[in-house]
Protein backbone atom coordinates (compact mmCIF):
# COMPACT_ATOMS: atom_id res chain seq x y z
CA UNK A 1 0.00 0.00 0.00
CA UNK A 2 0.52 3.40 0.49
CA UNK A 3 -0.08 6.99 0.76
CA UNK A 4 0.86 6.62 4.31
CA UNK A 5 2.11 9.45 6.41
CA UNK A 6 5.85 9.20 6.90
CA UNK A 7 5.49 7.96 10.45
CA UNK A 8 5.50 4.33 9.54
CA UNK A 9 5.98 2.06 12.53
CA UNK A 10 9.21 0.07 12.62
CA UNK A 11 7.51 -3.30 12.46
CA UNK A 12 6.05 -2.76 8.99
CA UNK A 13 7.40 -4.86 6.15
CA UNK A 14 10.20 -3.50 4.01
CA UNK A 15 11.15 -4.35 0.47
CA UNK A 16 9.82 -3.47 -2.96
CA UNK A 17 6.25 -4.59 -2.34
CA UNK A 18 3.21 -2.35 -2.26
CA UNK A 19 -0.06 -3.89 -1.02
CA UNK A 20 -2.85 -2.01 -2.79
CA UNK A 21 -5.15 -0.37 -0.25
CA UNK A 22 -8.93 -0.89 -0.47
CA UNK A 23 -8.29 -2.99 -3.56
CA UNK A 24 -11.70 -4.65 -3.78
CA UNK A 25 -13.60 -1.48 -2.89
CA UNK A 26 -11.70 0.47 -5.55
CA UNK A 27 -12.31 -2.17 -8.21
CA UNK A 28 -16.03 -2.39 -7.30
CA UNK A 29 -16.36 1.39 -7.40
CA UNK A 30 -14.82 1.49 -10.90
CA UNK A 31 -17.56 -0.95 -12.09
CA UNK A 32 -15.13 -2.31 -14.68
CA UNK A 33 -16.44 -3.36 -18.10
CA UNK A 34 -14.30 -5.86 -19.98
CA UNK A 35 -14.21 -3.66 -23.09
CA UNK A 36 -13.83 -0.38 -21.20
CA UNK A 37 -11.02 2.15 -21.15
CA UNK A 38 -9.48 2.87 -17.73
CA UNK A 39 -6.85 5.14 -16.25
CA UNK A 40 -4.77 4.33 -13.16
CA UNK A 41 -3.39 7.80 -12.47
CA UNK A 42 -1.12 6.62 -9.63
CA UNK A 43 0.47 3.40 -10.91
CA UNK A 44 2.95 2.98 -8.02
CA UNK A 45 3.96 -0.66 -8.31
CA UNK A 46 0.85 -1.65 -10.24
CA UNK A 47 -1.21 -3.33 -7.52
CA UNK A 48 -4.46 -1.70 -8.62
CA UNK A 49 -3.43 -1.60 -12.29
CA UNK A 50 -2.86 -5.37 -12.29
CA UNK A 51 -6.34 -5.90 -10.84
CA UNK A 52 -7.90 -3.68 -13.51
CA UNK A 53 -5.99 -5.41 -16.32
CA UNK A 54 -7.10 -8.80 -15.00
CA UNK A 55 -10.73 -7.74 -15.51
CA UNK A 56 -10.31 -6.36 -19.02
CA UNK A 57 -10.98 -8.40 -22.13
CA UNK A 58 -9.10 -8.09 -25.43
CA UNK A 59 -10.88 -4.85 -26.30
CA UNK A 60 -10.18 -3.20 -22.92
CA UNK A 61 -7.56 -0.49 -22.46
CA UNK A 62 -5.52 0.74 -19.50
CA UNK A 63 -3.47 3.93 -19.30
CA UNK A 64 -1.19 4.02 -16.26
CA UNK A 65 0.35 7.27 -15.06
CA UNK A 66 3.00 8.03 -12.44
CA UNK A 67 5.65 10.69 -12.08
CA UNK A 68 8.17 8.35 -10.47
CA UNK A 69 10.79 6.82 -12.80
CA UNK A 70 10.80 3.63 -10.71
CA UNK A 71 7.08 3.22 -11.39
CA UNK A 72 7.94 3.32 -15.09
CA UNK A 73 10.37 0.43 -14.62
CA UNK A 74 7.73 -1.56 -12.70
CA UNK A 75 5.14 -0.87 -15.42
CA UNK A 76 7.49 -2.14 -18.13
CA UNK A 77 7.76 -5.41 -16.19
CA UNK A 78 4.04 -5.74 -15.48
CA UNK A 79 2.79 -4.80 -18.94
CA UNK A 80 5.56 -6.43 -21.00
CA UNK A 81 4.01 -6.97 -24.45
CA UNK A 82 0.40 -6.43 -23.34
CA UNK A 83 -0.92 -4.14 -26.07
CA UNK A 84 -3.95 -3.18 -23.96
CA UNK A 85 -1.78 -1.25 -21.51
CA UNK A 86 0.48 1.79 -21.76
CA UNK A 87 2.45 3.79 -19.20
CA UNK A 88 2.88 7.55 -19.24
CA UNK A 89 5.40 9.22 -16.94
CA UNK A 90 3.68 12.46 -16.02
CA UNK A 91 1.99 14.36 -13.23
CA UNK A 92 -1.64 13.34 -12.98
CA UNK A 93 -2.78 16.96 -13.26
CA UNK A 94 -1.50 16.65 -16.86
CA UNK A 95 -4.01 13.84 -17.52
CA UNK A 96 -5.82 15.94 -20.12
CA UNK A 97 -2.73 15.84 -22.36
CA UNK A 98 -2.62 12.06 -22.41
CA UNK A 99 -6.27 10.98 -22.23
CA UNK A 100 -8.92 12.36 -24.58
CA UNK A 101 -11.88 14.23 -23.22
CA UNK A 102 -14.95 12.00 -22.56
CA UNK A 103 -13.03 8.83 -23.46
CA UNK A 104 -12.47 6.98 -20.15
CA UNK A 105 -14.83 4.61 -18.35
CA UNK A 106 -12.99 5.00 -15.08
CA UNK A 107 -10.13 6.90 -13.48
CA UNK A 108 -8.48 5.80 -10.23
CA UNK A 109 -6.28 7.91 -7.93
CA UNK A 110 -4.56 6.22 -4.99
CA UNK A 111 -2.89 9.29 -3.52
CA UNK A 112 0.33 9.77 -1.61
CA UNK A 113 3.54 7.77 -1.75
CA UNK A 114 4.04 4.05 -2.25
CA UNK A 115 5.63 1.70 0.26
CA UNK A 116 8.74 1.21 -1.90
CA UNK A 117 9.19 5.00 -2.10
CA UNK A 118 8.91 5.29 1.69
CA UNK A 119 11.09 2.29 2.39
CA UNK A 120 13.97 3.23 0.10
CA UNK A 121 16.35 5.38 2.18
CA UNK A 122 17.79 6.87 -1.01
CA UNK A 123 14.47 8.61 -1.75
CA UNK A 124 14.65 10.52 1.53
CA UNK A 125 10.98 10.22 2.55
CA UNK A 126 11.32 8.62 5.96
CA UNK A 127 12.87 9.68 9.25
CA UNK A 128 13.24 5.99 10.10
CA UNK A 129 15.88 5.42 7.44
CA UNK A 130 18.82 7.74 7.08
CA UNK A 131 19.41 9.00 3.55
CA UNK A 132 19.61 12.12 1.41
CA UNK A 133 16.82 14.56 2.28
CA UNK A 134 15.13 14.51 -1.12
CA UNK A 135 11.40 13.53 -0.94
CA UNK A 136 10.63 14.20 -4.61
CA UNK A 137 8.39 11.61 -6.27
CA UNK A 138 9.99 12.73 -9.53
CA UNK A 139 13.68 13.21 -8.67
CA UNK A 140 14.19 14.95 -12.04
CA UNK A 141 11.83 17.83 -11.30
CA UNK A 142 11.50 20.59 -8.75
CA UNK A 143 13.22 21.39 -5.50
CA UNK A 144 14.30 18.70 -3.01
CA UNK A 145 13.39 19.02 0.67
CA UNK A 146 17.06 19.79 1.46
CA UNK A 147 17.10 22.60 -1.14
CA UNK A 148 13.87 24.02 0.26
CA UNK A 149 15.21 24.02 3.83
CA UNK A 150 18.45 25.63 2.65
CA UNK A 151 16.66 28.40 0.71
CA UNK A 152 13.50 29.29 2.63
CA UNK A 153 13.36 31.74 5.52
CA UNK A 154 12.14 30.82 8.98
CA UNK A 155 8.64 32.18 8.38
CA UNK A 156 8.12 30.19 5.18
CA UNK A 157 9.40 26.98 6.79
CA UNK A 158 7.13 27.47 9.80
CA UNK A 159 4.15 28.14 7.51
CA UNK A 160 4.68 24.91 5.56
CA UNK A 161 5.12 22.82 8.71
CA UNK A 162 2.05 24.38 10.39
CA UNK A 163 -0.27 24.18 7.38
CA UNK A 164 0.74 20.89 5.78
CA UNK A 165 1.83 19.06 8.92
CA UNK A 166 -0.77 20.54 11.27
CA UNK A 167 2.16 20.79 13.69
CA UNK A 168 1.58 23.04 16.69
CA UNK A 169 5.32 23.39 17.35
CA UNK A 170 5.97 24.61 13.80
CA UNK A 171 7.56 27.94 14.82
CA UNK A 172 9.88 26.29 17.29
CA UNK A 173 10.90 23.65 14.71
CA UNK A 174 11.51 26.26 11.99
CA UNK A 175 13.69 28.25 14.40
CA UNK A 176 15.73 25.13 15.18
CA UNK A 177 16.12 24.32 11.47
CA UNK A 178 17.40 27.80 10.68
CA UNK A 179 19.78 27.67 13.66
CA UNK A 180 21.06 24.24 12.56
CA UNK A 181 21.83 25.59 9.07
CA UNK A 182 24.58 27.70 10.64
CA UNK A 183 26.60 24.53 11.14
CA UNK A 184 25.99 23.20 7.63
CA UNK A 185 23.25 22.29 5.16
CA UNK A 186 20.60 19.88 6.48
CA UNK A 187 21.22 17.25 3.84
CA UNK A 188 20.01 14.00 5.40
CA UNK A 189 16.77 12.65 6.84
CA UNK A 190 18.64 11.59 9.97
CA UNK A 191 19.96 15.10 10.65
CA UNK A 192 16.54 16.69 10.11
CA UNK A 193 14.85 14.10 12.35
CA UNK A 194 17.41 14.87 15.07
CA UNK A 195 16.97 18.65 14.79
CA UNK A 196 13.17 18.31 14.99
CA UNK A 197 13.25 15.82 17.87
CA UNK A 198 15.47 18.16 19.87
CA UNK A 199 13.15 21.13 19.20
CA UNK A 200 9.84 19.50 20.11
CA UNK A 201 8.95 19.50 23.82
CA UNK A 202 7.57 16.27 25.27
CA UNK A 203 6.66 13.15 23.34
CA UNK A 204 3.38 11.99 21.79
CA UNK A 205 3.09 8.29 22.57
CA UNK A 206 3.55 6.05 19.53
CA UNK A 207 4.54 8.90 17.24
CA UNK A 208 8.01 10.10 16.24
CA UNK A 209 8.33 13.84 16.92
CA UNK A 210 9.33 14.44 13.28
CA UNK A 211 6.23 12.74 11.80
CA UNK A 212 4.30 15.92 11.06
CA UNK A 213 7.34 17.84 9.82
CA UNK A 214 8.24 15.09 7.34
CA UNK A 215 4.63 14.87 6.15
CA UNK A 216 4.54 18.65 5.63
CA UNK A 217 7.79 18.74 3.65
CA UNK A 218 6.74 15.81 1.47
CA UNK A 219 3.41 17.44 0.62
CA UNK A 220 5.11 20.77 -0.05
CA UNK A 221 7.97 19.46 -2.19
CA UNK A 222 5.56 17.49 -4.39
CA UNK A 223 2.80 20.15 -4.39
CA UNK A 224 0.46 17.32 -3.49
CA UNK A 225 -2.56 19.43 -2.56
CA UNK A 226 -2.25 21.62 -5.68
CA UNK A 227 -2.09 18.45 -7.79
CA UNK A 228 -5.33 17.15 -6.20
CA UNK A 229 -7.19 20.41 -6.82
CA UNK A 230 -6.09 20.40 -10.46
CA UNK A 231 -6.67 16.74 -11.27
CA UNK A 232 -10.27 16.29 -10.13
CA UNK A 233 -11.76 18.67 -12.70
CA UNK A 234 -9.46 17.30 -15.42
CA UNK A 235 -10.39 13.73 -14.52
CA UNK A 236 -14.12 14.49 -14.65
CA UNK A 237 -13.58 15.90 -18.14
CA UNK A 238 -11.79 12.71 -19.28
CA UNK A 239 -14.74 10.52 -18.28
CA UNK A 240 -17.53 9.57 -20.62
CA UNK A 241 -21.10 9.67 -19.24
CA UNK A 242 -21.51 6.88 -16.68
CA UNK A 243 -17.72 6.73 -16.16
CA UNK A 244 -16.41 6.46 -12.61
CA UNK A 245 -13.96 8.62 -10.69
CA UNK A 246 -12.46 6.85 -7.65
CA UNK A 247 -10.10 8.54 -5.20
CA UNK A 248 -8.30 7.05 -2.20
CA UNK A 249 -6.90 9.68 0.19
CA UNK A 250 -4.62 9.13 3.18
CA UNK A 251 -4.86 12.16 5.39
CA UNK A 252 -7.46 14.73 6.24
CA UNK A 253 -5.90 17.54 4.19
CA UNK A 254 -6.19 15.43 1.03
CA UNK A 255 -9.60 14.02 1.84
CA UNK A 256 -11.05 17.45 2.61
CA UNK A 257 -10.07 18.73 -0.85
CA UNK A 258 -11.43 15.60 -2.53
CA UNK A 259 -14.72 15.88 -0.66
CA UNK A 260 -15.22 19.59 -1.38
CA UNK A 261 -14.13 19.43 -5.00
CA UNK A 262 -16.39 16.46 -5.76
CA UNK A 263 -19.26 18.32 -4.09
CA UNK A 264 -18.58 21.40 -6.23
CA UNK A 265 -18.38 19.28 -9.40
CA UNK A 266 -21.79 17.88 -8.48
CA UNK A 267 -23.63 20.92 -7.15
CA UNK A 268 -22.02 23.82 -9.01
CA UNK A 269 -21.10 22.21 -12.31
CA UNK A 270 -23.56 19.30 -12.51
CA UNK A 271 -20.68 17.24 -13.91
CA UNK A 272 -20.79 14.26 -11.55
CA UNK A 273 -23.01 12.48 -9.07
CA UNK A 274 -21.18 11.60 -5.86
CA UNK A 275 -21.74 7.90 -5.07
CA UNK A 276 -20.23 7.78 -1.57
CA UNK A 277 -22.25 9.80 0.95
CA UNK A 278 -19.60 8.76 3.46
CA UNK A 279 -16.13 7.63 2.46
CA UNK A 280 -15.37 3.90 2.42
CA UNK A 281 -12.64 2.87 4.87
CA UNK A 282 -10.59 -0.34 5.22
CA UNK A 283 -11.80 -3.19 7.42
CA UNK A 284 -9.94 -3.86 10.66
CA UNK A 285 -8.57 -7.02 8.98
CA UNK A 286 -7.01 -4.97 6.20
CA UNK A 287 -5.50 -2.52 8.72
CA UNK A 288 -4.09 -5.46 10.71
CA UNK A 289 -2.49 -6.86 7.56
CA UNK A 290 -1.36 -3.48 6.26
CA UNK A 291 -1.06 -0.76 8.94
CA UNK A 292 -0.42 1.84 6.25
CA UNK A 293 -4.07 1.46 5.19
CA UNK A 294 -5.30 2.77 8.54
CA UNK A 295 -6.12 6.32 7.45
CA UNK A 296 -7.38 5.52 3.93
CA UNK A 297 -10.69 6.95 2.69
CA UNK A 298 -12.25 6.13 -0.66
CA UNK A 299 -14.69 8.44 -2.44
CA UNK A 300 -16.34 7.77 -5.79
CA UNK A 301 -18.40 9.74 -8.29
CA UNK A 302 -20.09 9.02 -11.62
CA UNK A 303 -19.90 11.31 -14.66
CA UNK A 304 -23.23 12.73 -15.70
CA UNK A 305 -24.35 12.98 -19.34
Ligand X SMILES: C[S@@+](CC[C@H](N)C(=O)[O-])C[C@H]1O[C@@H](n2cnc3c(N)ncnc32)[C@H](O)[C@@H]1O
- Cβ distance to ligand X smaller for residue 51 or 158: 51
The least CB distance from residue 155 to ligand X, in Å, is 27
Helix (H) or strand (E) holding 180: helix 170-181
Q: Are strands 297-303 and 85-89 parallel, antiparallel or unpaired?
A: unpaired
The least CB distance from residue 114 to ligand X, in Å, is 4
CA dihedral 75→77→81→85, nearest 10 degrees, is -20
- Cβ distance to ligand X smaller for residue 42 or 213: 42
Phi and psi (nearest 5°) for 134?
-105, -75
- Cβ distance to ligand X smaller for residue 212 or 292: 292
The least CB distance from residue 292 to ligand X, in Å, is 9
Report how far residue 159's alpha carbon sits from residue 167's, in angstroms, rounded to the nearest whole number.
10
The footprint of ligand X (CB under 6 A) covers 2-3, 18, 20, 42, 44-48, 65-68, 71, 91-92, 110, 112-114, 137, 227
The answer to whether the CB of 45 falls within 8 A of the CB of 18 is yes
The least CB distance from residue 296 to ligand X, in Å, is 9
- Cβ distance to ligand X smaller for residue 20 or 60: 20
- Cβ distance to ligand X smaller for residue 169 or 251: 251
The least CB distance from residue 213 to ligand X, in Å, is 20
Amino acid sequence: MTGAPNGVPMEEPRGGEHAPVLRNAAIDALAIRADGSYVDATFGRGGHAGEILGRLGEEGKLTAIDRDPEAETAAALLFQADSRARFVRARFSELGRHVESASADGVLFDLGVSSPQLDDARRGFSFLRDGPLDMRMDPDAGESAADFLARADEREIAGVIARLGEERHAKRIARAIVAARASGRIATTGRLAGVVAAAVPGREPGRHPATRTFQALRIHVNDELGEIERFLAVAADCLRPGGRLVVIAFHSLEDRIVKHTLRALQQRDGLVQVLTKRPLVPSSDEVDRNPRARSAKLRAAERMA
